[in-house]
Every structure is written in C-alpha cells, then in structure tokens.
Amino acid sequence: MSIDNIDFNELYKKQKQNSTFKPKSVHDWNKKAPSISKRIHKSIYNEELLNLMDFSECETFLDIGCGVGNISLLVADKFKKVYALDFSKVMLDEVKNEAKKRNIDNIQTLHLSWEESWESVPKADIVLASRSMEVSDMKDALKKLNEKANKRVYLTYKVGGSFISDDILNFIGKQINKKPDFIYTVNILYQMGIMPTLSYIKSEGRKKQYDDEDSFIRSIIWSIGALSQEQISLLKEYYRLKLKNKKEEDSDFVCWAVIHWDKKSAPCL
C-alpha cells in the first residue's frame, strides 16, 4: 500500500468521532468566553504565532474561530480591514468590547460556524484559523480556508492528540481515546496538492491556566467529561502535589503546530 491509497481524511473523521474529546456547543463557548478573555490576551502564544506570520503586502485579514479576538486585536493596526468570524455571539461581543476599549474601528465580526455556508464571507489576503480546527471534516475545512485566502493561510493545531497530559491521566487512572493529531492535517493537505510549511510554538501550561483547585478540576471535566468521585479526589491530590506550589518560572508549556502555506508558491485546489 502506498500513501496515495490512504484516505487520511476518512481516518481523521473516524478518530475524531471515537475521541474522548467531544465537540463543544455554542452554549458551552458562550459560557466560557468571559473567563477566556481574562487570560488569553497576554498569552505567550500570541507573540510566538505573530512572529511566524508574514504580513507583507497584505491589506485584509480573516480570523476564523477568532474567539475573544486575541489575534484580531493585535494585528488590527497592520491591515485596512480585519474580519473576525466565530459561531459564539458572546465571543464576538467580547471582541467588540475590547476593540472599543482600544479604539480599534477596523474589525468586522461575522457570526458563522464551520458548517454553515461561507458564501457571504469576504476573501482576505491572509486567512488564519488559530486553535479553532476542531472540525468534523478536516478536508472540507481546509478547502474553505484556502478558498477564502488571496495570499496566505495559517492554522494552528494542538500537538499530541490530547488536551490533558499523560501525567494527569495516569495519575487518576483515566484512559482516553485521543483526537487526531496535527499530522493528519499535513497529510490531507499533501493529498490536496498543497505543500505546507510546518513550525511549532507554545502556550502556557497548567500552572498559569488555573486560579485554584476548583478551576483545575472544572477544566479537566470540560475536556474529558464526567469523572468518578475517586478520580476527582485524585485530581485534588495532583493539584496539591504538582501545581499549587509550582513557581511561575517552572511553568510547563503546551506545544502547537503552525501549518501554513503561500498560495503563490504552493499548488492550489
């Protein structure tokens, strides 16, 4: 069997369907928006991603799954127009409020999901999908990104197939089915005739994400669902042993793959 006989998108869809990490609803993200807004604007992830991006000779920017606008707000001064798209209205409200605070007036929000038609979505010189590629059909999503880009496409995807570290899962005795890792996306792009560039960046680890024991436990349950009382007790013990007194400078990091391509130099669909 050669690589051309492997349907990576079908493999992606099957693993996605079987994964412990289930898609979150609009209600879930609406509820989470305010807490995300409190911490994400100062994340090291933002700086590392922007340092990799090429903004030259570009006037428009489309941010897919923009969340609370941590990237859209930072790049607004580089473009004539920024389009911030998300399926959570509360997320988009956070974008508008923060833009008003910063006197930014060139961001237009678009209330749409991956599954809806993007016929009304404007094309842009740069299209970004930052930490928003938790899609049921990766090939279809990649086609949408590529079709809306005039010059360049950037996306980021969590490395490792899990939002929870093996250290935590082993400590509480929890077995999971991982989600498809980033390499599926690279292989799907290859089969689409697109040769992407691959880089890696990081975001803050668990010490900086949680204010206390309760927020730590809520986050784990958010990712993998209900836990037994014994597992919750073990999570409390893990927090006390590994996180509570951990120094800021000893904080761990989460790795993200940055997958990007230039439409001028890479074959298109």
What per-residue confidence (pLDDT) applies to 268? 47
Average pLDDT, the chain: 90
Q: Is residue 97 situated within a structural domain?
A: yes
What per-residue confidence (pLDDT) applies to 205? 64
Cα–Cα distance, 258 to 249 (Å, whole number): 25
Q: Is residue 237 situated within a structural domain?
A: no
Beta bridge partners of 130: none
CATH number of domain containing 51: 3.40.50.150
Q: Is residue 269 situated within a structural domain?
A: no
Q: Closest Cα partner for 45 from 152, 158, 188? A: 158
Regions of the chain with pLDDT less than 50: 249-250, 267-269
Q: Is residue 107 situated within a structural domain?
A: yes
Q: Is residue 220 situated within a structural domain?
A: no
Secondary structure (3-state) at 20: coil
What per-residue confidence (pLDDT) applies to 206? 52
- Edge-first strand order for the sheet with 81-86 is 107-111, 81-86, 60-64, 124-129, 149-158, 253-262, 197-204
**DSSP output for 51-93:** HH---TT--EEEEET-TT-HHHHHHGGG-SEEEEEES-HHHHH
Q: Is residue 216 situated within a structural domain?
A: no
Alpha helical stretches, state H, 149-204: 166-172, 182-191
Q: Is residue 115 situated within a structural domain?
A: yes
Domain that holds residue 139: 3-205+252-262
Q: Closest Cα partner for 23 from 267, 225, 168, 213? A: 225
Beta bridge partners of 154: 128, 260
Cα–Cα distance, 113 to 121 (Å, whole number): 11
Cα–Cα distance, 135 to 171 (Å, whole number): 30
List, for residues 78-122, the tens digit of each pLDDT value: 999 999 999 999 999 999 999 999 999 999 999 999 999 999 999
Number of residues in the chain: 269
Cα–Cα distance, 178 to 17 (Å, whole number): 10
Residue 233: Cβ within 10 Å count: 12
Q: Closest Cα partner for 194 from 125, 120, 262? A: 262
Token pair of 236 as six digits: 């409390």
Q: Is residue 44 situated within a structural domain?
A: yes
- Determine which helix (DSSP H) or strand (DSSP E) holds 202, and give its type and residue range: strand 197-204
Q: Is 178 exposed, middle or buried (0-12, 13-18, 19+ CB in 10 A)?
A: middle
What per-residue confidence (pLDDT) applies to 178? 95
Residue 145: Cβ within 10 Å count: 19
What is the four-CA torsion angle of 112, 148, 77, 92, rounded to 10 degrees? 10
* Overall domain count for the chain: 1
What per-residue confidence (pLDDT) applies to 210? 67
